[in-house]
Amino acid sequence: MEYLDALARLGAGSAHPGGFTATLEQFRQLPLPPGSRILEVGCGTGRTACYLAKQGHKVTALDLRPDMLQKARYRADKEGVEVTFAQGDIAALPLDSNSFDIVMAESVTIFGNIPLALAEYCRVLRPGGTLYDREVVVMRELPDEEQRQLAGFFGYSRLLTCDEWVSALYRAGFGQAQIWNPSPFPEALGEDLIHHPDELQVVDRGAFLDPDIWQKTARHDELIDNNREHLGHAVMIGRKGPDDRSSESEAE
Ligand SMILES: C[S@@+](CC[C@H](N)C(=O)[O-])C[C@H]1O[C@@H](n2cnc3c(N)ncnc32)[C@H](O)[C@@H]1O
């Protein structure tokens, strides 16, 4: 069983560093314009997508995994909000160019092909649109062995530093790139669930009794704890310029 299989079976609601607490704080400090057309990539079980829809935004939520999307649809149904769901890969979004004001991602891009995904986020944003992408980042040099262990467990290729993210955003075609609020992992990893319990979490039958799942969650916490000095999380913000290449080629 891979890490993402365990997350899907547990139906984890805010499976990103800082959890729903960090999500709400981001929206408080960086409010989104009312009525935005938002694409949330890697929506998982749809907690953020449904929250945004409830705020009155027009939300499309995409994930690669049908099991995640099934739980996200259930959540939207129970919350009585309208979200358009799509299955697809962040490296080849099945969506029109220039069609969103905002792209949101929370611990997603590192699981895919980072350069292709960032270029896709830029393509689907309208000129002047903004990407907010919260990911695990390398805060202090990560020894190769630790980098290898983390990549092997989580199933991604390599973690980036904030500077590497900024360069990757420019290479992907964004006109402006910045890093917002780099933070360490919370001391108590489960604290978010105490402050913001997820009442619509759907856990697969038998998942809590499955030793593989316990092993995966324990290993997750162990890897984070062992690498606290090196790792953190941050929101990468990319603003699509008015005259980027993708909008020029659309116009041709
Ligand atoms: C760590 S979870 C985060 C889920 C959600 N953003 C959250 O915070 O709860 C990563 C999510 O990204 C999705 N994902 C991974 N690789 C993907 C890809 N290449 N394209 C689209 N979604 C992907 C996974 O299925 C999973 O739902």
Q: Candidates 21, 64, 156: which one to mutate for ligand 1, based on the most atoms within 8 Å of Cβ? A: 64
The answer to whether residue 168 sits within a structural domain is yes
* Structure confidence at residue 87 (pLDDT): 98
CA of 41 to the centre of ligand 1 (A): 7
Q: Which domain holds residue 223?
A: 3-240
CATH classification at residue 133 = 3.40.50.150
Distance CA 55, CA 9 (A): 28
CA of 206 to the centre of ligand 1 (A): 23
* Structure confidence at residue 90 (pLDDT): 98
- The ligand 1 atom nearest the CA atom of 65: 25
- The ligand 1 atom nearest the CA atom of 105: 6
Report which residue type is found at 93.
Answer: L
CA distances from 211 to 1, 144, 167, 207, 216 (A): 11, 29, 41, 9, 9
Dihedral sign from CA coordinates of 146, 11, 88, 179: negative
Q: Is 106 a catalytic residue?
A: yes
Q: 165: which residues sit within 8 A by CB, 6+ positions away? A: 135, 137, 177, 179, 234, 236
- Specify the 3-state DSSP secondary structure of 75: helix
Q: Which residue has the higher pLDDT, 154 or 244?
A: 154
CA of 11 to the centre of ligand 1 (A): 12
CA distances from 179 to 65, 102, 163, 218 (A): 28, 16, 9, 30
* Structure confidence at residue 84 (pLDDT): 98
User: What is the number of structural domains in the chain?
Assistant: 1
Cβ pair 48, 118 in contact under 8 A: no
pLDDT digits (tens, 9 = 90+) for 26-69: 999 999 999 999 999 999 999 999 999 999 999 999 999 999 99
The answer to whether residue 142 sits within a structural domain is yes
Left, alpha or beta for 115 (phi > 0: left; psi -120 to 50: alpha)?
alpha
* Structure confidence at residue 145 (pLDDT): 94
* Structure confidence at residue 180 (pLDDT): 98
Q: Candidates 111, 114, 150, 153: which one to mutate for ligand 1, based on the most atoms within 8 Å of Cβ? A: 111
The answer to whether residue 250 sits within a structural domain is no
The answer to whether residue 139 sits within a structural domain is yes
CA of 118 to the centre of ligand 1 (A): 14
The answer to whether residue 85 sits within a structural domain is yes
The answer to whether residue 148 sits within a structural domain is yes
CA of 29 to the centre of ligand 1 (A): 24
- The ligand 1 atom nearest the CA atom of 111: 16
Q: In the structure, what pLDDT confidence band is assigned to residue 244 with cuts at 50, 70 and 90?
A: very low
For 249, which DSSP code? H
- The ligand 1 atom nearest the CA atom of 106: 6
How confident is the model over 194-221, as a mean pLDDT?
93
* Structure confidence at residue 193 (pLDDT): 86
The answer to whether residue 145 sits within a structural domain is yes
Active-site residue identified among 40, 82, 106, 120: 106
* Structure confidence at residue 157 (pLDDT): 84
* Structure confidence at residue 191 (pLDDT): 85
Report which residue type is found at 107.
Answer: S
Which residues, judged by CB distance below 6 Å to any ligand atom, belong to the binding site of ligand 1?
A: 4, 7, 14-16, 42-44, 63-65, 68, 89-91, 106-108, 111-112
Distance CA 72, CA 63 (A): 10
How confident is the model over 121-150, as a mean pLDDT?
96
- Nearest 5°: CA angle at 68, between 153 and 216? 25
Q: In the structure, what pLDDT confidence band is assigned to residue 243 with cuts at 50, 70 and 90?
A: low
The answer to whether residue 246 sits within a structural domain is no
- Other CB atoms closer than 10 Å to residue 223's CB: what's the count? 17
Q: In the structure, what pLDDT confidence band is assigned to residue 168 with cuts at 50, 70 and 90?
A: very high
Q: Which residue has the higher pLDDT, 19 or 188?
A: 19
